[in-house]
Structure formats: structure tokens, C-alpha cells
């Protein structure tokens, strides 16, 4: 079946450094991916999304890269701040199912050291 | 713009009891989702509504879980009888339609003892 996975459960970075969070997906038919940030005690917060007809998309301090050849997705956070500390999930939208259903990975915990 | 509202935020019940969670989606959003998030895992879809119709409930344990969205706006998720393994966060989410960005509420935290 389909699955979306993240490479590392925990990533620790120094404040001000850039962070890279990786995600691998298994369904080559997937064509829409989303990154969510989840802080302790809160619901997932939309960060950025990308469709399969793109390789890169930039937001404010965040960039998502999509490599369809190896089925790999990454989230880059520039100048990481203490407020970026959270669990980050990549999610796959099964658009072929016409439901908008999201398949989430396990999540990567980002720890920002002052 | 107001976000997805959920209540109650926290609930502790004994096994075999019942519980109900309420959700009010973002105004104008036709699609509403209920996800279950077990501690340490990513959210898993339980049920999806398009207006007041069910689109996907394939992962809803129908022997104990039920959900409705009678007027195509608010929704209620019920668990009866609850089991210990139902302890989780129940997240409601909504989107304009099924292909649009999905926004989540803060979640309802359930502990079954």
C-alpha cells in the first residue's frame, strides 16, 4: 500500500542554521504533497505544498524540493529559529482517488538549540 | 478568518463509555475531515464529508465510531463504546473542496482509562 515516510525521527540544529527535513514516498502516482508543522498540543499547521509538475517551490524562509525520480521530498528552513521547533509531517494527497485524502508520514521532530 | 473550531479540547472517560466531539469548519468549506492521531504517529483519516455526504469512511471502525454532518456545516464524531486503544487526538479539518488546502483544528484529546 501507499506510505509516506520521513528519514529521521529527530533533527537537532543550531539557531540560525539552515534545516533540511527529508521525506520519502512510495506511490509514484502521487501528484500533490504538503508539509505540515505541529507544535505541542496543537493541530497540524499548513506550511507549504507542491504539485508534481514542479521541482521546487519557495515560501517565506521555507523551500520544498520534489525529486520524482527517487520519490523524495524535502523541506528546507532557512535561518532556523526557536519558534520552528515542532514536529514536521509530510503528507501525500491521493488525488487519483478524487477524495483529497491525506496520507501522513510519521513525522520528524525539529529541535532548535539556542 | 476564524479557523476550524473543535470541542471539547480534552476528555477523559472510562472504557465502554461513550463520547462525542463537535467540529465547526471554516466558513464556506464544503469538505470536512475527521482524523485520528495516536501519540507519536501521523494523523490517519477516519471519515471525509463533501457537504453532508460521506466520501470516504473506509478506515472508520463502524462498529463503534459514527459521524454525521446533517446540514453540511457542523459535524459530530461519536465513539460508543470506547476502548483503551481509542486514546488519541481527534482532529477535524476542512477545505474549500476536496482538491484544496486542508486546514486543521486544534484537536480533541481523548484519554480512555
Count CB atoms within 10 A of the CB of residue A2.
12
Residue B37 forms beta bridges with which residues?
B89
Residues of chain A with C-beta less than 8 angstroms from the C-beta of B44: 104
Backbone angles phi, psi at A96, to 5 degrees: -65, -20
Place A1 in a pLDDT band, splitting at 50, 70 and 90. Answer: very low
- For residue B79, pLDDT beyond 70: yes
Looking at residue A98, its pLDDT comes to 66
* pLDDT value, residue B38: 95
Average pLDDT, rounded, for chain B? 95
List the single range of A21-30, A40-49, A84-93 with lowest mean pLDDT. A21-30
CA distances from B110 to A67, B7, B47, B77, B103 (A): 38, 11, 18, 12, 21
What are the residues whose beta carbons fall under 8 Å from the beta carbon of A98, sequence distance 6 or more? B98
The shortest C-alpha distance from B108 to chain A (Å) reads 9
Evaluate if residue A65 carries a pLDDT over 80.
yes
Query: Which chain A residues touch B23 with a CB distance below 8 Å?
Result: none
**What band does A2 get if pLDDT is binned at 50, 70 and 90?**
very low
Which residue from B minimizes the CA distance to A5? B42
Per residue in B9-26, pLDDT (tens digit) is 999 999 999 999 999 999
Q: Residue B70 — pLDDT band, cuts 50, 70, 90?
A: confident
Q: Is the minimum CB–CB distance between A36 and chain B shorter than 8 Å?
A: yes
Contact by Cβ (8 Å): A80, A18: yes
For the cut 80, the answer to whether the pLDDT of residue B68 exceeds it is yes
Q: Specify the residue for cell string 508543522.
A: A37
Phi-psi region of B98 (alpha: psi -120 to 50; beta: other; left: phi over 0): alpha
* Cα distance between residue A92 and residue A100, in whole Å: 9
Rounded-to-integer distance, Cα B48 and Cα A103, Å: 13
Q: Is A16 exposed, middle or buried (0-12, 13-18, 19+ CB in 10 A)?
A: exposed
First to last CA, chain B: 37
More confidently predicted of A32 and B91: B91
- Nearest-neighbour CA in chain A from B52: distance (Å): 14
Residues in chain B within 8 Å Cβ distance of A42: 106-107
Dist. CA B104–CA A47, nearest whole Å = 12
Amino acid at each position: 500500500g501507499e506510505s509516506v515516510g520521513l528519514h529521521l525521527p529527530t533533527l537537532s540544529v543550531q539557531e540560525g542554521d539552515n534545516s533540511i527535513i527529508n521525506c520519502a514516498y512510495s506511490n509514484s502516482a502521487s501528484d500533490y504533497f504538503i508539509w505540515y508543522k505541529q507544535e505541542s498540543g496543537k493541530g497540524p499547521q499548513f506550511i507549504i505544498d507542491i504539485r508534481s509538475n514542479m521541482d521546487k517551490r519557495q515560501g517565506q524562509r521555507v523551500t520544498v524540493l520534489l525529486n520524482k525520480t527517487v520519490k523524495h521530498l524535502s523541506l528546507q528552513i532557512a535561518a532556523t529559529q526557536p519558534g520552528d521547533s515542532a514536529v514536521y509531517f509530510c503528507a501525500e494527497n491521493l488525488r487519483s482517488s478524487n477524495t483529497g485524502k491525506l496520507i501522513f508520514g510519521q513525522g520528524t521532530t525539529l529541535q532548535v538549540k539556542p | 478568518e476564524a479557523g476550524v473550531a473543535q470541542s471539547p479540547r480534552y476528555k477523559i472517560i472510562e472504557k465502554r463509555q461513550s463520547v462525542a466531539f463537535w467540529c465547526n469548519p471554516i466558513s464556506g468549506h464544503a469538505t470536512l475531515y475527521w482524523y485520528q492521531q495516536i501519540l507519536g504517529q501521523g494523523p490517519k483519516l477516519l471519515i471525509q464529508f463533501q457537504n453532508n455526504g460521506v466520501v470516504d469512511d473506509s478506515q472508520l471502525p463502524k462498529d463503534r465510531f459514527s459521524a454525521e454532518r446533517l446540514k453540511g456545516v457542523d459535524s459530530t464524531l461519536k465513539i460508543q463504546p470506547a476502548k483503551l486503544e481509542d486514546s488519541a487526538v481527534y482532529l477535524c479539518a476542512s477545505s474549500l473542496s476536496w482538491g484544496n488546502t486542508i486546514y486543521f483544528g486544534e484537536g480533541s484529546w481523548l484519554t480512555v482509562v
